[in-house]
């Protein structure tokens, strides 16, 4: 494979990244901006200690401040393109800052002190990450618009995506499997591949292209969505927003995403509430799974602070690494983070398959205690920045081969999967995005066994070369 067709940066990636950035003389970032954001957080923390009875007020102010910073970072990073950094920031708004407000005034699930600690950790880590690292690395925050797909590559992607979507939904209905199964991952991947082939084939999103992708999305929802797996549906919506934003000339996709978040949460919450009422006869708001990880994270912090938390010492990360090893081959294989949290917080439900979530940060606390956060923060910075660089690198080059096209689709899947990572940790990310990437890789390599880049059978070409010897 030539360097031109590689779907990943080589040793010259740093040079290519710098060449993608326009001169920074017209960009004048305010170096003191990060200082003021961090100072505001520390001021609120000091007020909470100094002023008795100000716990709820300072918590609400901190939640609003963090949400404002996260939304601003989402808006700025990448220009018109929705980036991994942007998804990471908007995920914190949905799973940290909104739950802090909701559980304070509507549905009290936690001690206010625990919730404030979670807010301080998340807000400070994001503000330092974005202002001290991301902005310095990306002085010009505009990402390149994606290059137009050649017709043969777009045609390949269209039929590949269509086949995965129809095949996944059909098998899901036949076998009664949901959106979190392997066939559900195939259908999800099919929608992503289809949308990339359609939107990237033109200079801008058109009405006809949008209608076709909307039909594909609706077909997926009708076939795979049964009321559970709402985060899967949200992840697919984010994936489509990422694809459209890569061809957009302005930030209208980002604006639609920010404005659509409250509506999306409301619709999915109502759907969940009605489902629970009809199947269990219980009364739920439908937002419990959105806000409970925030509460559980606060409880983990309190347990770790009081030295009452039995540390997993990396066991959940091992479970993620061996997630695709069948348990029949390894009966003692460690369980994932959700199962460990379920056993910790609901020991009465051990053995029933019950699981919980406590944010990505919570996974580091349950494994290594408070010291785990010191590892998580720089590691998160490194991974998200590298994902940003990869996305920008892919968008700045011509997609001239099937491998490059698959790399673009994989990047979209990983970017959307940050929602799963933020909400439920590495095991959930591997179980969902890992399955989708596995499907994409298997299909690509299956084609590669028979087709070379020019579309001719590899086997036939090998036979011709041998016969000529």
Q: For position 81, what pLDDT does the model report?
A: 93
Distance, in Å, from the CA atom of 100 to the CA atom of 97, rounded to the nearest integer, reads 5
Distance, in Å, from the CA atom of 6 to the CA atom of 130, rounded to the nearest integer, reads 29
Cβ count near 346 (within 10 Å): 13
Q: Is the separation of the CB atoms in 293 and 357 below 8 Å?
A: yes
CA angle 118, 122, 124 (to 5 degrees): 115
Sign of CA dihedral 315, 318, 323, 328: negative
**CA dist 277 to 102, 115, 222, 352, 444, Å?**
21, 29, 21, 21, 43
How far is C-alpha 425 from the chain's CA centre? Answer: 11
Q: Is 362 exposed, middle or buried (0-12, 13-18, 19+ CB in 10 A)?
A: buried
> What is the per-residue pLDDT across 26-84, written as a single tens digit (0 to 9) for each?
444 455 788 899 999 999 999 998 988 888 899 999 999 999 999 999 999 889 999 99
Q: What is the total residue count of the chain?
A: 469
Q: For position 64, what pLDDT does the model report?
A: 95
Q: For position 273, what pLDDT does the model report?
A: 74
CA angle 189, 193, 194 (to 5 degrees): 115
Ramachandran region, residue 229 (left: φ > 0; alpha: ψ -120 to 50; beta: rest): left
Q: For position 180, what pLDDT does the model report?
A: 82
Q: Is the separation of the CB atoms in 275 and 289 below 8 Å?
A: no
Q: For position 451, what pLDDT does the model report?
A: 53
Cβ count near 98 (within 10 Å): 20
Q: For position 102, what pLDDT does the model report?
A: 87
Q: Which tokens sit at 232?
A: 């899967």
Q: For position 449, what pLDDT does the model report?
A: 64
pLDDT tens, N- to C-terminus, the chain (469 residues): 554 455 555 543 443 444 344 444 444 445 578 889 999 999 999 999 898 888 889 999 999 999 999 999 999 988 999 999 999 999 999 999 999 988 887 766 556 668 889 999 999 999 988 888 877 776 656 787 888 888 889 999 999 999 999 999 999 989 888 888 899 999 999 999 999 999 998 766 678 888 999 999 999 998 888 766 788 999 999 999 999 999 888 899 999 999 998 888 888 878 777 777 677 666 677 788 888 899 999 999 999 999 999 999 999 999 999 999 988 888 889 999 999 999 999 888 888 888 999 999 999 999 999 999 999 988 998 899 899 999 999 988 888 888 899 999 999 999 999 999 999 999 999 999 999 999 999 988 887 665 554 444 443 344 344 444 4
Q: For position 454, what pLDDT does the model report?
A: 45
CA angle 57, 58, 64 (to 5 degrees): 95
Q: Is the separation of the CB atoms in 429 and 126 below 8 Å?
A: no
> What is the per-residue pLDDT across 287-314, written as a single tens digit (0 to 9) for each?
888 888 999 999 999 999 999 999 999 9
Identify the DSSP state of 146.
P
Identify the DSSP state of 9.
-
């Amino acid at each position: 494979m030539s360097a031109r067709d590689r779907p990943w940066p080589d040793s010259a990636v740093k040079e290519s990244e710098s060449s993608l950035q326009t001169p920074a003389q017209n960009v004048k970032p305010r170096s003191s901006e990060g200082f003021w954001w961090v100072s505001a957080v520390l001021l609120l923390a000091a007020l909470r200690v100094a002023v008795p009875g100000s716990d709820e007020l300072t918590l609400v102010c901190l939640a609003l401040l963090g949400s404002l910073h996260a939304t601003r970072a989402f808006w700025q990073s990448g220009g018109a393109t929705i980036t991994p950094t942007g998804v990471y920031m908007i995920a914190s708004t949905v799973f940290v800052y909104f739950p802090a407000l909701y559980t304070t005034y509507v549905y009290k699930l936690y001690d206010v002190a625990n919730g404030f600690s979670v807010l301080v950790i998340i807000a400070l880590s994001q503000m330092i990450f974005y202002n001290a690292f991301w902005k310095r690395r990306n002085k010009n925050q505009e990402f390149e618009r994606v290059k137009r797909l050649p017709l043969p590559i777009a045609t390949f992607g269209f039929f590949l995506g269509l086949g995965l979507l129809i095949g996944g939904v059909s098998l899901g209905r036949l076998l009664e499997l949901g959106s979190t199964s392997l066939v559900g991952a195939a259908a999800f991947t099919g929608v992503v591949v289809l949308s990339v082939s359609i939107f990237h084939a033109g200079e801008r999103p058109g009405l006809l292209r949008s209608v076709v992708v909307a039909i594909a999305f609706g077909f997926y929802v009708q076939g795979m969505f049964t009321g559970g797996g709402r985060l899967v549906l949200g992840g697919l919506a984010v994936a489509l927003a990422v694809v459209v934003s890569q061809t957009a000339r302005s930030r209208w996709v980002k604006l639609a995403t920010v404005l659509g978040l409250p509506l999306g949460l409301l619709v999915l919450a109502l759907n969940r509430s009605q489902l629970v009422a009809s199947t269990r006869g219980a009364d739920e708001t439908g937002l419990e799974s959105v806000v409970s990880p925030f509460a559980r994270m606060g409880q983990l912090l309190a347990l770790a602070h009081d030295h009452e938390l039995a540390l997993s010492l990396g066991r959940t990360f091992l479970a993620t690494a061996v997630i695709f090893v069948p348990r029949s081959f390894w009966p003692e294989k460690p369980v994932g983070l959700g199962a460990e949290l379920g056993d910790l917080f609901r020991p009465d439900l051990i053995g029933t398959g019950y699981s919980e979530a406590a944010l990505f940060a919570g996974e580091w606390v349950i494994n290594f205690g408070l010291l785990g956060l010191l590892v998580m923060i720089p590691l998160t910075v490194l991974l998200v920045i590298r994902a940003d660089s990869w996305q920008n690198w892919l968008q700045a080059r011509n997609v001239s081969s099937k491998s490059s096209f698959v790399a673009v689709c994989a990047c979209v899947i990983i970017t959307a999967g940050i929602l799963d990572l933020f909400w439920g940790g590495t095991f959930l990310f591997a179980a969902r995005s890992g399955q989708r990437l596995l499907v994409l890789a298997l299909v690509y390599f299956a084609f590669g066994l028979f087709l070379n880049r020019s579309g001719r059978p590899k086997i036939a070409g090998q036979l011709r070369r041998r016969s000529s010897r």
